[in-house]
Structure 1
Amino acid sequence: MAVDRLRPPPAAPDPVPIAPATALSPRPWVRLSAALALVPVLRLAVARYAVPPGEPDRAGCARCGTALGLDRPWPALGPAARCPGCRARVGAPPYAVELAVLAGLAALALAGGAPAERAALAWWLGWAVPLVFVDAAVHRLPDRLTWPAALGVQALLGVAALVSGEAGPWLRAALAGVGLALCFAATTLLLGRRGFGLGDAKLALGVGALLGWHGWPVLVLGLVLTFTLSALTSLALLLARRVRWSSHLPFGPFLALGTLAALLLAT
């Protein structure tokens, strides 16, 4: 008992250090700046390839012929989208590409998955943005945009399979992409202009791979959402008397939106 009385009281615990408040990580701002820096490139792709099938790619303003290029991006390839010579609109509507890029960044922030999977989605979105605007303008999906989109997706998903050590998802993605593309191409051969175009089939290569990577139900969900969006839009335009029953709507924008919605719901 005497020993207990002589024992010094336990020392008070050291206070827990409080970390000083730090500024927000600059990484989101770096990503935003990098994405917006690509806007002139995307706008140039829209302006160059938004020409009717069979015509050469556009190298200048359709009205006055002023050359378009990344060496002189403003104001033609900026948010205003105006020719510096005649002030006519060039390519996609003002601020439309910028809003699409911001929406793509938001989708990437919400999407899950490994870094290589997210890289595949980012790669596809980078090509899908000009494809949507070109198809909406002239009902055309040029090979110079569809092939890089599809091949890049397959390659990046292959990297994701190597990192994870599981080949099953990549094989399913490849099968889904090729199968969906063949189905779309078959409608062109069997139905002619009433079927899907070959551009839609090439776009489906990347779309099918992205959806198939996450499983067959996600692929089905993406197609259901795509056709639902297409049907609702067609019905609304018919009721508004903006189109006729014989009118042909571009399918690429609906395929891109349905794919993105399915991926976000799946992850």
Structure 2
Amino acid sequence: MPIDAAKALAAEPRSTTITWGHKDVQLYHLGLGAGRPATDPDELRYTLESKLHVLPSFATVAGAGMGVVGGLSAPGIDVDLAAVLHGGQSITVHRPVPVHGEATSTSKVAAVHDKGKAAVLVLRTEAADADGPLWTSDAQIYVRGEGGFGGERGPSTRAELPDRDPDHVVERPVREEQALLYRLSGDWNPLHADPDFAKLAGFERPILHGLCTYGMTLKAVVDTLLDGDVTRVRSYATRFTGIVFPGETLRIRMWPAPGRVQVTVTAVERDDAPVLADTVVALN
């Protein structure tokens, strides 16, 4: 069987040194749609080096996001990339991410779940610098056709929404060229740029990166509810439920509560088709 769960879980973690600077952070923020309006003081926090802070979701692209790639090449993992889907993502930040950094990034297969017709790999990346831990990032990777090996199904990630209308609803447009800009942060999959490749994959045109939607959503929460204070974010988790096409509009619904915010994201132009679900931002 292409996935040997015991071998994958027993494999030694892989470590590499990653570095980043203000250009990487600014490029990432621009890829999320930051900088509109360009002179808005609230947007300059994302775009101007003298005022810059770092959105915690930057952890998914720091060092070009090599943690997931390393996990998929771990011992015991031999899968067809065409059968791989990014099912969910979570990040826990242990302290604010610095604008400039050098860290050791360590990746491993933290869990292998058996969903019957598919396997779910939890690929964990932990980053630490000279001052200690920075973040822990878990990517839930859904691999079609690789289940049925008798493993544990794993925990449910369903988050029950409050029985009321959302407290805040904001809309964020996705620019036509946004996927082309976001991919410069390290995800070069042609699915997000090449129309012919997208059609071979079953899509009418290139789609937006799920992690771009993920970052856009966190920015909307930080700007709407936290007065732009990125240090208030302790962790952020979501489940990817649908695609977004460049040029569409995200509708982001928020239910704040003590210590957390629950969120859903839909695509406005496709009758509120689900995009992100079971989304929770935990707060300091």
Q: When the two structures are superposed, what TM-score results if normalisation uses the length of structure 1?
A: 0.30
- Higher relative helix content: 1
- Higher gyration radius (CA): 1
- Higher relative strand content: 2
The structure showing larger relative contact order (alpha-carbon pairs under 8 Å, at least 6 residues apart) is 2
